[in-house]
Amino acid sequence: MTTPSERSRAVIQTEAFLKELSKDASLPEKVRSDAKFLLRHFPARSDVILAGQLEEEAVTLPIPFLFPVFSSSIVE
């Protein structure tokens, strides 16, 4: 099972990968434009960290089924 920290790291690394693809002139234009399109709606590192912080705080609420998806601490 993927932990919140692993999931956060994967999302952050995927964003970085898409950024690399979007700027790589050796790739076909279609690949670069698809990467740019995906990045338009992809969460930034700061979004993932903030989501992790909010979810970690929400665990203290009396809602039994709520658990963190992301983590505010990323080990890279």
52 domain-assigned: yes
36 domain-assigned: yes
Domain count along the chain: 1
34 domain-assigned: yes
Could you give the angle at the alpha carbon of 29 between the alpha carbons of 26 and 34, nearest 5°?
115
63 domain-assigned: no
66 domain-assigned: no
65 domain-assigned: no
Per the listing, tokens 């809602």 go with 63
Domain of residue 42: give its range. 4-58
73 domain-assigned: no
Low-confidence residues in the chain, pLDDT < 50? none
Q: What is the pLDDT of residue 76?
A: 64
Prediction pTM value: 0.82
φ, ψ at 64 (rounded to 5°): -65, -25
